[in-house]
């Protein structure tokens, strides 16, 4: 066992003020509140307005986490931002967040694993602490997917919302904090969920805009089937790595994409529904932010106690999937 373990010393979130309800969407595309509720579980979502970018959401969540952890921004050794909607291709959103926090010098970089970004980020961030290289890491999951949504496409525009969640990771007693991770990917599924233009393969041009290639494209049905199967696989993988049984998990915090995905995977795992944290009815799918937003709800509920085992499970574009098990300190 490593000498150092990485645990959550503080948490914070931020969502934009503007609420977009299912009723609002009924006026924009051929959909209904009932269809959205029944097929996804979503009732409303938060969306960015004006010039608000991912780094703005991330920086606000970070400030809240820093305050909650009782540290100073200067104490941070590394800022790691998991996002697939960076402010721009470069510089990294992490560098922009660093500047918004009024600090300099510490390491900063982005990590891209789509909706699995927070789980990948937790695993990566913890390595720096476990090796003893850093003491304090700020991990943020932030996305502003509604910036890349075609508001005429009812298949996708009803699903996404914007937000950010941050954790301050610090050294904790061995045996606590992040005790197990499972990460996986299958690039053969890259076409199932993507934004085709704006990168080096297909740089932005009049044609890409005309063909709406800078918007999110998704094969919803295929992603749905993948998600149900993989949420289960990721959970089992992390349990096996920890040498634990599903009964030992006190809370499951899944990526908040669709209530039917969560329910099916939970039934397959045989985990008590009362242990599952769900808030997608309020936020929709906020991609990388969804797990920390749900985790923060659990944190604020006051139910968490030392020794509780939490499981975070993510899945998304790439395709990517993964899970973390955290023993609460
Ligand atoms: O973060 C990870 C990424 N994303 C996900 O995890 C999303 C995974 N996929 C899903 O959540 C679901 O596939 C959706 C919610 C996107 C769609 O639900 P579905 O049950 O798979 O519906 P479907 O695509 O099979 O469509 C069923 C019907 C179709 O009509 P027909 O062909 O049966 O006449 C669609 O055209 O529902 C129609 N439909 C809609 N109707 C009203 C599709 N979108 C809408 C809509 N409102 N917004």
Q: What atom of ligand 1 comes closest to residue 156's alpha carbon?
A: 16
- Position 1 scores a pLDDT of 54
Residues near ligand 1 (Cβ within 6 A) = 31, 35, 39-40, 115, 154-155, 158, 193, 220-221, 223-224, 227, 257-258, 285, 316
> What pLDDT tens digit does each residue of the chain (329 aa) get?
567 899 999 999 999 999 999 999 999 999 999 999 999 999 999 999 999 999 999 999 999 999 999 999 999 999 999 999 999 999 999 999 999 999 999 999 999 999 999 999 999 999 999 999 999 999 999 999 999 999 999 999 999 999 999 999 999 998 999 999 999 999 999 999 999 999 999 999 999 999 999 999 999 999 999 999 999 999 999 999 999 999 999 999 999 999 999 999 999 999 999 999 999 999 999 999 999 999 999 999 999 999 999 999 999 999 999 999 999 99
Distance 155 CA to ligand 1 centre (A): 6
Distance 236 CA to ligand 1 centre (A): 27
For residue 170 the two structure tokens come to: 């610090």
Distance 21 CA to ligand 1 centre (A): 18
- Position 4 scores a pLDDT of 83
Q: What angle do CA 295, 297, 299 make, to 5 degrees?
A: 70
Q: What atom of ligand 1 comes closest to residue 227's alpha carbon?
A: 6
* Alpha carbon nearest to ligand 1 atom 25, residue: 221
For residue 85 the two structure tokens come to: 């909607």
Distance 13 CA to ligand 1 centre (A): 29
Strands 217-218 and 78-82, by their bridges, are unpaired
Q: How far is CA 102 from the centre of its chain?
A: 25
**Residues catalogued as catalytic:** 115, 255, 285
Closest C-alpha to 238, from 295, 178, 166, 287: 178
Sign of torsion over alpha carbons 35, 39, 41, 45:
negative
Closest C-alpha to 314, from 232, 237, 254: 254
> Which residue among 221, 263, 283 is best mutated to probe the pocket of ligand 1, counting the most ligand atoms within 8 A of its Cβ?
221
Closest C-alpha to 255, from 176, 169, 159, 157: 159
Domains, the chain: 5-175 (3.40.47.10), 179-327 (3.40.47.10)
> Which residue among 21, 25, 30, 39 is best mutated to probe the pocket of ligand 1, counting the most ligand atoms within 8 A of its Cβ?
39
Q: What atom of ligand 1 comes closest to residue 255's alpha carbon?
A: 1
The answer to whether 145 and 162 are in contact (CB under 8 A) is: yes
Q: What atom of ligand 1 comes closest to residue 31's alpha carbon?
A: 47
DSSP class of residue 150 equals -
Distance 39 CA to ligand 1 centre (A): 7
Distance 221 CA to ligand 1 centre (A): 7
* Alpha carbon nearest to ligand 1 atom 36, residue: 155
């Amino acid at each position: 066992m490593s000498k150092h373990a990485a645990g959550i010393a503080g948490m914070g979130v931020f969502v934009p003020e503007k609420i977009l309800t299912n009723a609002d969407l009924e006026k924009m595309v051929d959909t209904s509140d009932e269809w959205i509720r029944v097929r996804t579980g979503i009732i409303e979502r938060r969306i960015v307005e004006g010039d608000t970018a991912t780094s703005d959401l991330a920086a606000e969540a970070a400030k809240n986490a820093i305050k909650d952890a009782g540290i100073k921004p200067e104490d941070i050794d590394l800022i790691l931002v998991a996002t697939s909607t960076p402010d721009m291709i470069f510089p990294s959103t992490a560098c922009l967040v660093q500047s918004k926090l009024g600090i300099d010098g510490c390491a900063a970089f982005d990590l891209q694993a789509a909706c699995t970004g927070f789980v990948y980020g937790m695993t990566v961030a913890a390595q720096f602490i476990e090796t003893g290289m850093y003491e304090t890491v700020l991990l943020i999951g932030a996305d502003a997917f509604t910036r890349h949504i075609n508001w005429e496409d009812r298949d996708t525009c009803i699903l996404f919302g914007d937000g950010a969640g941050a954790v301050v990771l610090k050294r904790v007693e061995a045996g606590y904090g992040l005790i197990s991770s499972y990460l996986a990917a299958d690039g053969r599924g890259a076409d199932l969920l993507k934004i085709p233009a704006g990168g080096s393969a297909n740089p932005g041009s009049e044609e890409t805009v005309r063909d709406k290639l800078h918007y999110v494209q998704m094969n919803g049905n295929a992603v749905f089937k993948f998600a149900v199967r993989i949420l289960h696989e990721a959970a089992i993988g992390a349990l096996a790595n920890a040498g634990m049984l599903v009964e030992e998990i006190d809370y499951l915090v899944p990526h908040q994409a669709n209530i039917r995905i969560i329910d099916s995977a939970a039934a397959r795992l045989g985990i008590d529904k009362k242990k599952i944290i769900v808030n997608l009815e309020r936020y929709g799918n906020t991609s990388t932010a969804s797990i920390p937003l749900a985790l923060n709800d659990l944190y604020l509920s006051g139910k968490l106690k030392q020794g509780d085992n939490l499981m975070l499970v993510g899945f998304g574009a790439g395709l990517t999937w993964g899970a973390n098990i955290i023993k609460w300190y």
